[in-house]
Structure 1
């Protein structure tokens, strides 16, 4: 297995866990202090529950782009993925920065390492 393919699988696995976290927030899990800067400890208000679902869908799209760029899915979209992967890299870079500077200590401890690994995986897929 090549390094970009391994990176794509690892990106997808971490993204799946993040999607599950977002869906749990949307369903009312009391983990608000570990998301959105910890501004809403406990359960998210309804508007942020909707935002959590939107974030989950966006993350799924990012994973599909990574898997397509690695040649693992949707070969008809490979040309699109060669450009779209750089959106994924930029998104992951922004996420890594924001999760590293969030005022929420729990969010920073949990998501900063995850988003940094996602960024490294996205870069590995993008450049190969």
Structure 2
């Protein structure tokens, strides 16, 4: 007899949606910085008022691509379940580090806005990496 495995998508779906939304927000912020938005005080430790210097704008452009890739992985465009789990677990770890760095920042905006965003991303990315809870059906 074969047991069917059903997925309970409720909590997983919520984590997936929240992770994708927050990644889009952060990616959009990074894209705006790369394009020259005058929000330097809200990024990179808050050491640059106004438009970021070219090297930081280039870093933001690369970050935008990374966030777009993470959104694709979160939404299921995955290279394979094992690799997907490793990518999202690693991203969760980096977001945990980002949470600590934002909390320690001199920038008030980073402390008040980006700390909870990074912390929430750390948790939701880890939940998505773990996948939906599997519910075994009873044998017939």
Q: Which residue of 1 aligns with 2:84?
A: 81
Give the Cα separation in 2 of the matches to 1:105 and 1:35: 10
| Aligned: 1:25 with 2:28 | no
Gaps of 5+ in 1: none
Point out 4+ residue stretches in structure 1 off by more than 4 angstroms. none
Match of 1:35 among 27, 39, 43: 43
The structure carrying a bigger helix percent of its residues is 1
Partner of 2:112: 109
TM-score (norm 1): 0.87
Q: How far is 1:126 from its partner?
A: 2.4
CA–CA distance in 2 between the matches of 1:61 and 1:51? 15
TM-score, L = length of structure 2: 0.80
SS at match of 2:116: helix
Structure number with greater Rg is 2
Structural RMSD (CA): 1.5
Q: Distance in 1 between matches of 2:70 and 2:100?
A: 18
1:77: how far off? 2.2
Q: Which of the pair has the greater relative contact order for Cα pairs under 8 Å at 6+ separation?
A: 2
Alignment: residue pair count: 123
Which structure 2 segments of 5+ residues have no match? 1-8, 132-140
